[in-house]
């Protein structure tokens, strides 16, 4: 069922095209600054006045007259007024506002979804090297990435979730050395323990399983330990597989699964790094200085040129990133989003510069980045900085065990990614209105209890008479339900899942206000069914919004 708003927008486009051919794209509704001005505002007359060399108010009058002749406006619109220099304010009939209830109940879980647009998007997130458990920062990234994927799914995109990591390099060698020391019986504090080694208890667990010749299986790899403490290659492969499995356990506890894993090492073994560098050289975008190879990144807006290949022959860390993003483009992903910590801010300009210099058809501004700050964890009024499991930081699994998957997801998404956030463990387990996830979930559960007490089937509410929904509280609730699709679109465009948390909290508050003033299960059958339809639609939108965040919508609490 097409929404009333979309029907009116299509009609507006037709009328604009009649008045000024080629102007249908100007068809848009804005929200009036004051509710008393109506439900929608049209500014097209003022936009078209100058190119058409007409008075904007007269043009507005002409557009108003055309709209009032359309059956769609006759059916759904109560008033169309001209204000100021040419604003057109639209006030809907109660039946138009009530129609959203029918739309929600008919579309169910698909309410808010747009048609398949045939486009593909790759979202890369978490991408943690397997050197230790996932920390809370990875948790924020996991919540952000998954919610952004869900948002783009609602907008008709074909979404691909990718996890990129390195299974070689200095950090992985440190992991292998740490595991070997543990396997030989050394521990942190011993004279033989390397200063650079990882100290968490998880290293001892890896070493113990290695000696036992265990087999570990992760989503993207499996390995059996040799048990030989001098077999460094086996230690390295086993430790990587072990920690990848641990990461998978964390992600499973978070109800998150990736479509693919991509190894940084494969960019070297496949020759993609070398090919990318050769492209840059052939295009004249590099030069040699002080025994190093430099990229002319200042040609593309960077504040200084960047070293690509150091004097020792190794590449700097942004070079494989350039090669990796060329593969994303070659795989057909015209839109790519990277979720990373704010400490990666410096790589954006040089990666984009490298992609432009490669001249392979990639547009400027590719890829998009969402940068997030780290998370401060408070428990019992004091900051928690270390974990027994990890040794130096709070892990994602700690946070889930202390609270819940739902609380961690909702809390970590409740602020803009680039703002500092303090996760209050004590608040996250409270069962009161101060806890935002509880507040929203309770609204859903409260409606479910009403529907259960009624005992009927929700699908039987799709075609009931909704005319009884005329109170200010009911009108406000319906108006908020109608804003859900546009909210999703805006949130996707802005990579802003926090918009969804704000909306859900507002919707829960609006429902609680409605419930406090209007009893649902009244004697009058018509009124009862109309109110049941409204609250059932509200429960559906709460469910849909929580699903975007990866949070459950419980029926009982």
Mean pLDDT to the nearest integer, 323-338:
97
Phi/psi for 41 (5° steps) reads -125, 145
pLDDT of residue 33: 77
pLDDT band at residue 91, thresholds of 50, 70 and 90? very high
Phi/psi for 312 (5° steps) reads -85, 0
Question: Per-residue pLDDT tens for 303-326?
Answer: 999 999 999 999 998 999 999 999
Mean pLDDT to the nearest integer, 80-88:
90
Roughly what angle, to the nearest 10 degrees, separates helices 498-517 and 436-454? Answer: 50
> Which stretches of 203-334 are assigned E, i.e. beta strand?
215-217, 222-224, 260-263, 286-289, 292-295, 306-309
* CA neighbor of 296 nearest in space, from 338, 356, 254: 356
pLDDT of residue 248: 95
Mean pLDDT to the nearest integer, 437-443:
98
* CA neighbor of 68 nearest in space, from 22, 11, 30, 3: 11
Return d(Cα 151, Cα 161) in angstroms, integer.
13
Mean pLDDT to the nearest integer, 430-436:
96
Output the furthest CA–CA distance in the chain (Å, rounded). 89
Report whether 125 contacts 143 (CB < 8 A): no
pLDDT of residue 31: 84
Question: Per-residue pLDDT tens for 265-309?
Answer: 999 999 999 999 999 999 999 999 999 999 999 999 999 999 999
pLDDT band at residue 548, thresholds of 50, 70 and 90? very high
Cis peptide leading into residue 226 (ω within 30°) = no
Question: Per-residue pLDDT tens for 146-155?
Answer: 999 999 999 9
Mean pLDDT to the nearest integer, 372-396:
86
Return d(Cα 252, Cα 146) in angstroms, integer.
13
Report whether 296 contacts 349 (CB < 8 A): no
pLDDT of residue 389: 63
Q: pTM of the prediction?
A: 0.92
392 pLDDT above the threshold of 90? no
pLDDT of residue 1: 44
% the chain with pLDDT above 70:
99
């Amino acid at each position: 069922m097409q929404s009333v708003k979309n029907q009116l927008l299509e009609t507006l486009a037709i009328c604009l095209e009649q008045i000024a051919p080629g102007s249908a794209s100007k068809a848009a509704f804005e929200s009036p600054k004051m509710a008393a001005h109506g439900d929608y505002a049209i500014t097209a007359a003022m936009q078209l006045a100058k190119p058409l060399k007409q008075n904007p108010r007269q043009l507005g009058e002409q557009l108003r007259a055309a709209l009032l002749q359309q059956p769609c406006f006759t059916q759904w619109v109560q008033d169309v007024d001209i204000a100021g220099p040419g604003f057109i304010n639209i006030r809907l009939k109660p039946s138009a506002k009530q129609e959203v209830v029918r739309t929600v109940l008919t579309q169910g879980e698909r309410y808010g979804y747009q048609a398949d647009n045939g486009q593909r998007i790759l979202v890369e997130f978490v991408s943690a090297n397997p050197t230790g458990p996932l920390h809370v920062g990875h948790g924020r990234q996991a919540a952000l990435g998954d919610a952004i994927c869900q948002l783009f799914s609602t907008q008709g995109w074909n979404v691909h979730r990718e996890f990129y990591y390195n299974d070689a390099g200095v950090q992985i060698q440190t992991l292998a050395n740490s595991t070997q020391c543990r396997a030989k019986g050394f521990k942190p504090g011993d004279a033989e323990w390397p200063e650079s080694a990882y100290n968490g208890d998880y290293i001892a667990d890896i070493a113990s399983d290695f000696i036992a010749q265990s087999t570990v299986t992760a989503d993207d790899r499996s390995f059996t330990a040799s048990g030989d403490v001098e077999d460094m290659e086996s230690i390295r492969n086993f430790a990587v597989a072990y920690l990848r499995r641990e990461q998978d356990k964390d992600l499973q506890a978070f109800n998150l699964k990736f479509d693919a894993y991509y190894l940084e090492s494969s960019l070297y073994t496949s020759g993609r790094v070398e090919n990318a560098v050769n492209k840059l050289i052939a295009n004249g975008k590099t030069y040699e200085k002080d025994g190093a190879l430099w990229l002319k990144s200042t040609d593309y807006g960077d504040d200084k040129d960047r070293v690509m290949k150091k004097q020792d022959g190794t590449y700097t860390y942004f070079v494989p990133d350039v090669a990796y993003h060329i593969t994303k483009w070659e795989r057909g992903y015209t839109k790519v989003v990277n979720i990373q910590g704010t400490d990666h801010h410096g790589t954006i300009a040089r990666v984009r510069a490298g992609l432009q210099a490669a001249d392979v058809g990639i547009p400027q501004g590719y890829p998009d980045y969402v940068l997030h700050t780290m998370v401060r964890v408070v428990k019992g009024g004091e900051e928690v900085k270390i974990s027994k499991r990890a040794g130096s930081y709070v892990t994602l699994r700690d946070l889930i065990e202390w609270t819940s998957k739902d609380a961690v997801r909702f809390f970590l998404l409740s602020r803009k990614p680039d703002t500092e956030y303090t996760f209050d463990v004590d608040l996250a387990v409270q069962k009161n209105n101060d806890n935002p996830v509880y507040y929203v979930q309770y609204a859903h559960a409260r409606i479910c209890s009403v529907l259960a007490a009624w005992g009927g089937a929700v699908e039987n509410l799709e075609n009931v008479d909704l005319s009884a929904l005329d109170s200010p509280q009911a009108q406000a609730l319906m108006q908020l339900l109608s804003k859900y699709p546009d909210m999703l679109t805006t949130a996707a465009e802005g990579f802003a899942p926090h918009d969804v948390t704000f909306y859900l909290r507002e919707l829960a508050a609006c429902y609680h206000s409605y419930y406090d003033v209007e009893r649902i299960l009244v004697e009058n059958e018509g009124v009862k069914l109309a109110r049941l339809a409204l609250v059932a639609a509200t429960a559906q939108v709460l469910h849909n919004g929580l699903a975007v965040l990866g949070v459950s919508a419980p029926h009982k609490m």
